[in-house]
Amino acid sequence: MSIAAAQVQNTSVITVPVPLGDRAYDILVGRGLIEVAGPRIAALGARAAAIVTDEHVGPLYAQALSQSLQANGLRSSVITLPPGEATKSYTSLERVCDAVLEAKIERGDLVVALGGGVIGDLAGFVAAIVRRGVRFVQVPTTLLSQVDSSVGGKTGINSRHGKNLVGAFHQPSLVLADTALLDTLPVREMRAGYAEVVKYGLIDDARFFAWCEANWHGIFNGDLERDEAVAQSCRSKAAVVVRDEHETGDRALLNLGHTFGHALERITRYDSARLVHGEGVAIGLNLAFRFSAALGLCAISDAERIEAHLAVVGLPTRLSHVPGGCGTVDELLDAMAQDKKVKGGSLTFILAKGIGQSFIAPGIEAEKVRAFLTGEINASRS
């Protein structure tokens, strides 16, 4: 038995069920899961798997995964793509679809996404459309993908008209969140994913937020708290997804912090050197609570508490923290208007009455947003 496999024996695996009727599946969370991926995936009854990964992740983990599959009678092949958001393109889509067909993946077989959200979104979309749909397994390797993108079945690529505009809802058959894989993740990516963890507490679980405040060290260090944080985040997201699989209502709560965050990503042109998604979300979370406070909905002390926690883990929280600047108020409003959450002159925001008390707020007048942002920008100047 390998050391890692032995570790698995000692470590408990947490199972988070996602009860979506005939598309139900389990998320398994634990250290060293990749070493036992073989039996778990073989149990799904496929005979072959196409592993999709990127050039950072593949060299680290693809071999362990294929060996585990092979040891359990599954033929596998590895398709490796360049890392980065640019990989969520039509070109990669064609390349991966053809490679999956080349690998003779039939209707009963599988695509396995081994990587962060970029690989998960792309490989999931490929699985949705090759032979009009084959099954797929997520092996998320970033904190963000373990707690967010690998749960919920949203898959897709980017178009020149915007992010994630082409894709499908396609639920995985299994998610294996091996928290040991995060040991090699750059700390900046770790922090970015952590913003999404915090988000779940802020949406509807004040106790979880408090737990994060007390236990974030363990999460970053790879202690048992990491597994718990991932599992609890998956439970939160799964609960929302089960209520609203195709995003027609409640699922919008998951956008807490994202209206401001997406605007900042747009303004920084998705240049990850300046801002990665989770950093935009961190600033967005803080702004959502500050805006809620400005509207008299929640206490400013709640916003301050959130800001203090995000800052202590090293996340940006203010418009002034955007490297290269956050643009003018008009640019910010324009960028928000593109988020299709606008109707007439008013926007839909996710606001909060306090930590763990978020709600969908349609009909927020653009003027109120403008006044708030003007204040934020001026404050940062003085």
Ligand X SMILES: NC(=O)c1ccc[n+]([C@@H]2O[C@H](COP(=O)([O-])OP(=O)(O)OC[C@H]3O[C@@H](n4cnc5c(N)ncnc54)[C@H](O)[C@@H]3O)[C@@H](O)[C@H]2O)c1
Residues that bind a copy of itself (CB under 8 A): 90, 93-94, 97-98, 101-102, 106, 125, 128-133, 154, 156, 159-162, 165-169, 340
* Antiparallel, parallel or unpaired: β 25-30 and 48-54: unpaired
Give the footprint of ligand X on this chain (CB under 6 A).
54, 56-57, 60, 83-85, 88, 115-119, 121, 141-142, 144-145, 148-149, 152, 154, 163-164, 181-182, 184-185, 189, 277
Indicate the residue type of 84: G
**196 classed as catalytic:** yes
365 binds, among ligand X, a copy of itself, none (CB under 5 to 8 A by kind): none
Whether 118 contacts 83, CB under 8 Å: yes
Smallest separation (angstroms) from a copy of itself to the CB of 120: 15
User: Of the candidates 3, 28, 71, which has an alpha carbon nearest to the alpha carbon of residue 234?
Assistant: 28
**247 classed as catalytic:** yes
Smallest separation (angstroms) from ligand X to the CB of 373: 24
381 binds, among ligand X, a copy of itself, none (CB under 5 to 8 A by kind): none
**88 classed as catalytic:** no
Phi-psi region of 52 (alpha: psi -120 to 50; beta: other; left: phi over 0): beta
> Torsion angle of alpha carbons 245, 248, 250, 252, nearest 10°?
100
* Antiparallel, parallel or unpaired: β 358-365 and 346-352: antiparallel
**341 classed as catalytic:** no
Nearer to ligand X, 120 or 356 (CB): 120
Rounded Cα–Cα distance for residues 69 and 271 (Å): 36
Smallest separation (angstroms) from a copy of itself to the CB of 234: 21
**35 classed as catalytic:** no
Whether 335 contacts 267, CB under 8 Å: yes
Active-site entry in 255, 266, 290, 341: 255
The values of phi and psi at residue 79, to 5°, are -115, 120
Smallest separation (angstroms) from ligand X to the CB of 102: 21
**290 classed as catalytic:** no
**255 classed as catalytic:** yes
**164 classed as catalytic:** no
Smallest separation (angstroms) from ligand X to the CB of 378: 32
Whether 351 contacts 258, CB under 8 Å: no
Rounded Cα–Cα distance for residues 51 and 137 (Å): 9
**Residue 30 in tokens:** 């634990």
Rounded Cα–Cα distance for residues 313 and 190 (Å): 10
Active-site entry in 189, 196, 245, 265: 196
236 binds, among ligand X, a copy of itself, none (CB under 5 to 8 A by kind): none
Is 121 annotated as belonging to a binding site?
yes
Indicate the residue type of 306: I
> Torsion angle of alpha carbons 151, 153, 159, 162, nearest 10°?
-60
Is 163 annotated as belonging to a binding site?
yes
Nearer to a copy of itself, 165 or 371 (CB): 165
129 binds, among a copy of itself, ligand X, none (CB under 5 to 8 A by kind): a copy of itself
Rounded Cα–Cα distance for residues 74 and 76 (Å): 6
**160 classed as catalytic:** no
Is 117 annotated as belonging to a binding site?
yes
Residues taking part in catalysis = 132, 154, 196, 237, 247, 251, 255, 258, 262, 277
Residues making up the annotated binding site are 117-121, 141-142, 154, 163, 196, 258, 277
